[in-house]
Amino acid sequence: ETGEVEALWGEDGEEDMPDGRDIQWLGMHYKRLQKLLDDKDTLEKELVRGEGEDDNGENKMTRGEWVSIWRYHEALVQAIDTAILSSDIEEDSDDSEDPRDEL
């Protein structure tokens, strides 16, 4: 295993690459998820119970729930990043800028 990630588009080998609108939509969610990452420490203080702390009606999540959410977040960011970078949109562009910067 090389650890390399590959994005496949379409079914049964049929090419169905995303268009500019699709990449813009992915980029919007990529930025939203990156902002959540920037706010992670603040959110943790607001949303996660402290060690040995009871819920006390505050509806805070456990540390295990928090860790699971951030594992999912990381996988989603990686999937969106891979999708954006694998699209033909970057190749069709006249400049060589990262397509995520344009979104």
64-93 pLDDT per residue, tens: 999 999 999 999 999 999 999 988 664 444
Query: CA-based angle 66:67:70, to the nearest 5?
Result: 90
Cα 81 to Cα 100: distance, rounded to the nearest angstrom: 8
Residue 24 has pLDDT above 90, yes or no: yes
**CA-CA distances (angstroms) from residue 34 to 29, 76, 81?**
8, 11, 11
For the entire predicted model, the pTM comes to 0.72
Q: Average pLDDT over the chain, rounded to whole?
A: 82
